[in-house]
């Protein structure tokens, strides 16, 4: 990519990027945490590819992060664009000129994009004649200094890690499933972790949450027959505990109109942090 405006950051320079992102913590935690979490994926044997690019210098430049995977019937291109610079002129220029993003396909997503850069991305999408719509989310974090209160477990259930055998069930219950989603969710379970509340008598999965490549708590689900029993709160509390053991900042992103989930996370102790957007072509999930 001789004429590419973004230059790839070599892995040996990731530590320099992390030092920049640690300033004003946790303002820049999203990019920081994804770099760190994907190191765990690599150690666990993932075949997914991670690339970090920068346009400009490491201090004030525009970062473009790409996670790529290829499956028999689908490619996965997940992008995260970020800058520590309040002037978004260079961010716009970088996105307009880059050849890294497959604008003419439906197989890409801008993930948890800071709301502050949404207007710029929408301008670029219009320039590329790409039909995409943002899904507005509120991002919550569980502050590092906050104590974690664990609800007692009812005697008839237990909490355990998910394994690959649970991927099909988790995918079946996920409203955003698509042709490769079971394989993708299985990758998160194998290379990262997920937790579930199980019934002791028959090991039935009652409530579950996954952690993905950013470390976000995602794909949350509780069996409709067992809602209102506090199982979602229990599994989220255990997810916070496990994230902290792994040196991560626990966080989640919830659709703005999903007040029930927002209230649940607030009840657990999460605090609002910022607004973010998922941006993808209208036929992304086909």
Q: Strand, coil or helix: what is 269?
A: coil
Architecture of domain 157-274: 3-Layer(aba) Sandwich (3.40)
pLDDT at 2: 61
pLDDT at 185: 98
- Name the token pair of 33: 């945490």
List, in sequence order, every residue forming a beta bridge with 195; answer none if it has no partner: 161, 209
Q: Where are the beta strands (DSSP E) in the chain?
A: 7-8, 49-55, 62-71, 74-83, 108-114, 132-141, 157-161, 193-199, 205-211, 217-222, 251-255, 271-281
pLDDT at 1: 52
pLDDT at 163: 97
Q: Does the domain made of 7-136+277-281 have the CATH classification 3.40.630.30? A: yes
| Residue range(s) in the chain whose domain bears CATH number 3.40.630.30 | 7-136+277-281, 157-274
Task: State pTM to two decimals.
Answer: 0.95
pLDDT at 286: 76
Ranges under pLDDT 70 in the chain: 1-2
pLDDT at 137: 98
pLDDT at 3: 87
């Amino acid at each position: 990519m001789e004429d590419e405006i973004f230059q790839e950051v070599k892995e040996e320079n990731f530590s320099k990027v992390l030092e920049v992102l640690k300033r004003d913590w946790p303002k820049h935690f999203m990019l920081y945490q994804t770099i760190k979490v994907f190191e765990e994926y690599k150690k666990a044997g993932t075949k997914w590819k991670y690339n970090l690019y920068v346009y400009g210098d490491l201090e004030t430049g525009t970062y473009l992060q790409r996670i790529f995977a290829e499956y028999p019937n689908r490619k996965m291109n997940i992008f995260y664009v970020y800058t520590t610079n309040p002037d978004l002129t260079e961010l716009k220029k970088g996105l307009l000129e880059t050849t890294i993003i497959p604008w003419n396909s439906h197989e890409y997503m801008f993930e948890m994009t800071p709301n502050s850069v949404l207007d710029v991305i929408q301008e670029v999408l219009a320039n590329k004649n790409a039909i995409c719509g943002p899904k507005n989310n509120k991002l919550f974090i569980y502050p590092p200094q906050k104590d974690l209160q664990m609800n007692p477990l009812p005697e008839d259930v237990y909490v355990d890690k998910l394994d690959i055998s649970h991927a099909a069930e988790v995918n079946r219950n996920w409203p955003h499933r698509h042709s490769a989603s079971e394989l993708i969710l299985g990758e998160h379970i194998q290379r990262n972790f997920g937790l579930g509340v199980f019934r002791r008598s028959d090991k039935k999965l009652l409530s579950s949450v996954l952690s993905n490549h950013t470390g976000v708590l995602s794909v949350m689900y509780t069996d409709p027959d067992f809602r209102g029993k506090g199982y979602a709160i229990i599994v989220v509390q255990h997810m916070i505990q496990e994230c902290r053991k792994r040196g991560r900042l626990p966080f989640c992103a919830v659709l703005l109109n999903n007040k029930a989930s927002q209230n649940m996370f607030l009840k657990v102790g999460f605090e609002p942090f910022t607004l973010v957007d998922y941006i993808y072509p209208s036929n992304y999930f086909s």
